[in-house]
Structure 1
Amino acid sequence: MRLMGRMFERNDYSVYAPMFAGHGTSEPLDILEKGHPDIWWQQVLDAIEFLKQEGKDEFYIFGLSLGAIFATKALENCPEVKLGGVFGSPLYADTYKNVKKAFLTYARKVYEIHDLDEVEIAQKMRVVGSKIDLMLTNINKTADTVSNELPELKKPYFIGQGTTDELVDPDKAELVAKDVKKSELHWYEAGHVLTINHAHKQLESDLLKFLENN
């Protein structure tokens, strides 16, 4: 999200992008052991409170992938958040099979980069495998709660979705757009991480227009 944050900053928006607990480290297990949907939600609330203390009184929120769940939850539950949007959102997902596969691949690559031998990697991967299903179950519960409230969402809602997204089903974006009355669905010929792949410039342009028009 840093690239997008810098873009907003250049266009005179104040930006705050907290790091979700467990993310941004060289140990994939941190996400599974230090993170939790309740912790991440509290971080969102803390971020809003921090910005209030900084004198801000109107808030826009955007989230990528996992962050999309909590950006939407903030729109549903926090009156001071006026509008927002999501990119590569997992809402309405039938399965997290692709997410699990991608996380396991990511974890192994990280351990290989850190020159662990095969025995050490196997030990680490067994721990990851023992914890990931519970985490995905907890994330899914939160996503289901957020999804159930989508028809009540009356705020402007930007949906950015890649047509070749390998982690979430692109077709679900249409279901979300149908449920949210003030939604704008934008398609991109790109994969999951729209904020940094080749679609990011068009995404940034569309977001600026969205903010200007709302």
Structure 2
Amino acid sequence: MAKTGDPRVTLDDPHSFFMPGTNGRGVLLVHGMTGAPAEMRLVARLLNKRGYSVLAPLLAGHGADEAEFRKYRWQDWQDSVEAAAEKLRAEVDETHAAGICVGGKLALLAAHRNPGTLRSVALYSPCFSYDGWAVPFYYPLLSRHIGWLAHVPFLQRLSFSETPAMGIKDERLRRLMAGMSADGVLDDFPGSGVVEMYRLGKLVRRELPQITTPTLILHAREDDLSNPRQAEYIDRHIGGPHALHWIEDSYHMIHVDRQHRHVADLTARFIEAHSRSGVAATPAFETHDV
């Protein structure tokens, strides 16, 4: 059962949560690979205070352990997002989405595949491969050859350790995230996840010119896991109206780090600018049509 006082929204795991809102708009918040809905709570609370209904689902294979994680593919994660979007859609007048890293790509693909379901999407720290300043040298090396390494069974069985910074610049917030294993966040990420991330990213890259969903791209200039050029790539290639904003005082986990309030504010403003009611009283975005 979802953690909510509203009995209409039910989910099949103890980690997902729903926060009923008051303004008729819903936001689907999608966690990252090996993450869990708990990491979305800071942004969720801020959006909910603005009146938004918020649903944060657990992706398939997540929330348990590495053995369970390895049983699932990116298509299963995608199914989780699309099913959650339908649940949220039944509760509100219009739906939007935001997701961190892989979660953002899943949300964007869900919007593209199901026109009219999600009116806008915010991408937090988009990432096709781990190539930030803090990752070990062999991560980018593996990424460059992941196409053929994906067929080598040993990679699927490997596990990779999180970087010391955990994608978070603020030490207090880093300690908070470090204690989230009980909330379903995995300490390490299995090699199978790297493979599935590559396969999902390959599809999204191919689809970008055809994607017309209004898209907000938020990326930290100091991202320790994903080089800012990955956000710039999306900015250059996506086919619909979009805006790119830089986060100046955070690492990869911008929805958790020092500027999570700014991230929530930018997300809300973008949603308002692209809502059905056309509310544009907030400062306008520099939205590009490619």
Q: TM-score, normalised on structure 2?
A: 0.58
Aligned counterpart, 2:69: 32
Amino acid at match of 1:140: Y
Aligned counterpart, 1:117: none
Unaligned stretches of 5+ residues in structure 2: 1-39, 143-158, 167-178, 180-187, 275-290
Aligned: 1:175 with 2:233: yes
Rounded to whole Å, the distance in 2 between the matches of 1:63 and 1:42 is 15
Aligned: 1:5 with 2:44: yes
**Secondary structure at the residue paired with 1:20?**
coil
> Alpha-carbon deviations, 1:69-128, whole Å to 9, x = none?
20111121111211111111114x486926x9xx72249x9xxx9xxxxxxxxxxxxxx8
Structure with the higher helix share, 1 or 2: 1
Aligned counterpart, 2:254: 194
Aligned: 1:84 with 2:121: yes
Aligned counterpart, 2:62: 23
> Alpha-carbon deviations, 1:124-172, whole Å to 9, x = none?
xxxx89xx33331222111110121111122210001011111111111
Aligned counterpart, 1:148: 206
Total equivalences in the alignment: 189
Aligned: 1:61 with 2:102: no
**Structure 1 residues 30 and 164, CA, compared in 2 at 3 Å: closer, same or farther?**
farther
Q: TM-score, normalised on structure 1?
A: 0.77
**Secondary structure at the residue paired with 1:196?**
coil
Rounded to whole Å, the distance in 2 between the matches of 1:155 and 1:40 is 20
Amino acid at match of 2:251: G
Aligned counterpart, 1:120: none
Amino acid at match of 1:144: K
Aligned: 1:158 with 2:216: yes
Aligned counterpart, 1:122: none
Rounded to whole Å, the distance in 2 between the matches of 1:31 and 1:8 is 31
Rounded to whole Å, the distance in 1 between the matches of 2:55 and 2:130 is 32
Give 4+ residue runs of structure 1 displaced > 6 Å after superposition.
Answer: none
**Secondary structure at the residue paired with 1:81?**
coil
**Secondary structure at the residue paired with 1:6?**
helix
Rounded to whole Å, the distance in 2 between the matches of 1:86 and 1:50 is 21
Rounded to whole Å, the distance in 2 between the matches of 1:19 and 1:32 is 12
**Is the contact between residue 163 and residue 188 of structure 1 (CA under 8 Å) also seen in structure 2?**
yes
Unaligned stretches of 5+ residues in structure 1: 114-127
**Is the contact between residue 177 and residue 183 of structure 1 (CA under 8 Å) also seen in structure 2?**
yes
Aligned residues: percent identity?
Answer: 25
**Structure 1 residues 200 and 52, CA, compared in 2 at 3 Å: closer, same or farther?**
closer
> Alpha-carbon deviations, 1:194-214, whole Å to 9, x = none?
001011121122122212222
Amino acid at match of 2:207: E
**Is the contact between residue 159 and residue 185 of structure 1 (CA under 8 Å) also seen in structure 2?**
yes
**Aligned alpha-carbon RMSD (Å):** 2.9
**Is the contact between residue 82 and residue 155 of structure 1 (CA under 8 Å) also seen in structure 2?**
yes
